[in-house]
Amino acid sequence: MVKKMRGKISMEIADLINQYGVPTVVAVGMSYFIFYIWKFVTTEILPVLGATLTTLIALIDRIRMLDNDMIRLDQKIHTVMELQEQEKHGKQKEKENKNEA
């Protein structure tokens, strides 16, 4: 039964080629292929891309927040280090003043 169907379809395609020519039949086949791909992309891929875009935007926002946090922490560390250095210099000056006196 399947062989009869395949043979029938092959004969129909052969008849179309004989009647309209190879370029016309190939153009119709390509147009169906392009329509199928377009429909698949618009129904299957575009909705997934929309969800992915939302996730990407959320991740970029988180990265920016983390970057800002790192900048603030870096500033705090530098401030603490400067205060420690000033404290050390202050203690050294006090020792020098005591030694001189």
Q: Is 21 left (phi over 0), alpha (psi -120 to 50) or beta?
A: left
pLDDT number for residue 68:
95
13 and 25 Cβ atoms separated by less than 8 Å: yes
| Amino acid letter for position 80 | V
Which residue range is the domain that position 24 belongs to?
A: 2-100
pLDDT tens digits for range 32-69: 999 999 999 999 999 899 889 999 999 999 999 999 99
Between CA 60 and CA 12 the distance in angstroms is 56
Domain count, the chain: 1
Indicate the pTM of the whole model. Answer: 0.49
